[in-house]
Amino acid sequence: MNDIIRTLVESFGPSGCEDRIRAIIRELVEPCVDEVRVDALGNLIAHKRGTGTGKRIMLSAHMDEIGVIVSYIDEKGFVRVQPIGGVNPMLEIGGRVQFESGIVGVVSYSKLPNGAQVPGFDQLFIDVAASSRETCPVKVGETGCFLQPMIEVGGHLTSKAMDDRIGCAVLIETLRQLGTTPHDVVAVFSTQEEVGLRGATTAAFGVAPEVGIAVDVTLSPDTPEPGIKMAVGLDQGPAIKIKDGGMIATAWVKDWMIATAEANTIPYQLEVLVGGTTDARAMQTTRDGIASGCLSIPCRYVHSPSETVSLSDVQNAVKLLVAMLSAVCPAN
């Protein structure tokens, strides 16, 4: 599974530019399902038919990652950018950005305004070794993302784009391991989540599931003096969401996850996230409402170039989903 995760997280795919990562995922899931299609927003929708005795269940993990978009190039060829999604400019400094053309640039910043402690995007610039606007190898409107390879240390995996390629890896491995299922399983690898749950919103309307389950990362504030208190940490199992900033999980879906974990001796945690939300919100509020929940992978340093997850948490998330989808659900 590590090789799949590495391939996913090291691939290029900011919101709105998911073509490359979608092609990679499509090749991995096609042998495991009965039908694959791409909708108008670029969502990859993989359908595994069940025996007809269960529910129509939509699983969703987003393919896109945070990034930047070129907004201006100055007369000396230095590139100015604006964020795609929740990018912290402080975490960009000294790092490298890869643009969709393959060009790599170094991020630095100009003098800060009086009293400023950290730079904003107005102070950031990217050095792509150009000498003028005319010789700059990137263009206004071109997107870019962090350039950071995955490393493995002590059972933890660190890379850019764990949010939410790790969720995509969980769905891929779930489809690979899932045998006969009573459920009509529709796995959606969604687009543009980082800019407003856009892909999942349209996909959920089209799929029209009876149950929706998102797989995404959540904060893991188990580091020294974190700014937020949550009962979530690495190496303790996937987190079953109770509530976040945009969604309260449907009670019976949450309870189904908990009961399945306990029946199969799968470690789990309970998550109450103060802010942020996932594709589960888009599914829950589509049409006339969908029973929805979310399975979260605890992640340190979210929205940084070094997002860190535990491989055991990932593997246990797969075990939990496979167990759930292999049996009828309590609402049948």
**Could you tell me what percent of the chain has a pLDDT over 90?**
89
Whether pLDDT at 172 is above 70: yes
How many degrees, rounded to 5, is the angle at CA 286 between CA 281 and CA 289? 90
What does the pLDDT look like over 72-99, one tens digit per residue?
999 999 999 999 999 999 888 999 999 9
Of 92, 193, 194, 271, the catalytic one is: 193
What pLDDT, on a 0 to 100 scale, did the predictor assign at position 332? 62
What pLDDT, on a 0 to 100 scale, did the predictor assign at position 331? 74
What pLDDT, on a 0 to 100 scale, did the predictor assign at position 133? 96
Q: CATH 2.40.30.40 occupies which residues in the chain? A: 67-146
What pLDDT, on a 0 to 100 scale, did the predictor assign at position 330? 85
Respond yes or no: is residue 100 known to be catalytic.
no
Q: Are 13 and 85 in contact (CB under 8 A)?
A: no
**Could you tell me what percent of the chain has a pLDDT over 70?**
99
Cα–chain center distance at 192:
10
Q: Are 9 and 322 in contact (CB under 8 A)?
A: no
Strands 124-127 and 143-146: unpaired
How many Cα neighbours within 13 Å face the side chain of 21?
34
Assigned CATH for 2-65+160-325: 3.40.630.10
Please give the average per-residue pLDDT across 13-22, as a whole number: 97
Residue 275 contacts by C-beta under 8 Å, 6 or more apart in sequence? 244, 245
Per residue, the 3-state secondary structure of the chain, as one string, reads CHHHHHHHHCCCCECCCCHHHHHHHHHHHHHHCCEEEECCCCCEEEEECCCCCCCEEEEEEECCECEEEEEEECCCCCEEEEEECCCCHHHCCCCEEEECCCCEEEEEECCCCCCCCCCCCCCEEEECCCCCCCCCCCCCCCEEEECCCCEEECCEEEECCHHHHHHHHHHHHHHHHCCCCCCEEEEEEECCHHHCCHHHHHHHHHHCCCEEEEEEEEECCCCCCCCCCCCCCCCCCCEEEEECCCCECCHHHHHHHHHHHHHCCCCCEEEECCCCCCHHHHHHCCCCCCEEEEEEEEEECCCCCCEEEEHHHHHHHHHHHHHHHCCCCCCC
Q: How confident is the model at residue 120 (pLDDT cuts 50, 70, 90)?
A: confident
* Residue position matching structure tokens 């604006």: 82
142 vs 224, more confident:
142
Give the Cα separation of 309 and 306 in Å (integer).
Answer: 10
Whether pLDDT at 114 is above 80: no
What pLDDT, on a 0 to 100 scale, did the predictor assign at position 329? 85
Please give the average per-residue pLDDT across 196-206, as a whole number: 97
What pLDDT, on a 0 to 100 scale, did the predictor assign at position 228? 85
Please give the average per-residue pLDDT across 165-171, as a whole number: 98
Whether pLDDT at 115 is above 70: no
What does the pLDDT look like over 213-258, one tens digit per residue?
999 999 999 998 877 889 999 999 999 999 999 999 999 999 999 9
Q: CATH 3.40.630.10 occupies which residues in the chain? A: 2-65+160-325
| CATH label, 67-146, candidates 2.60.34.30, 1.20.120.1200, 2.40.30.40, 3.40.50.300 | 2.40.30.40
What does the pLDDT look like over 255-309, one tens digit per residue?
999 999 999 999 999 999 989 999 999 999 999 999 999 999 999 999 999 999 9
What pLDDT, on a 0 to 100 scale, did the predictor assign at position 110? 86
What angle separates helix 19-29 from helix 162-177, to the nearest 10 degrees? Answer: 20
| Side chain identity, residue 328 | V
* CA-based torsion, 10, 280, 88, 14: positive or negative: positive
What pLDDT, on a 0 to 100 scale, did the predictor assign at position 67? 97
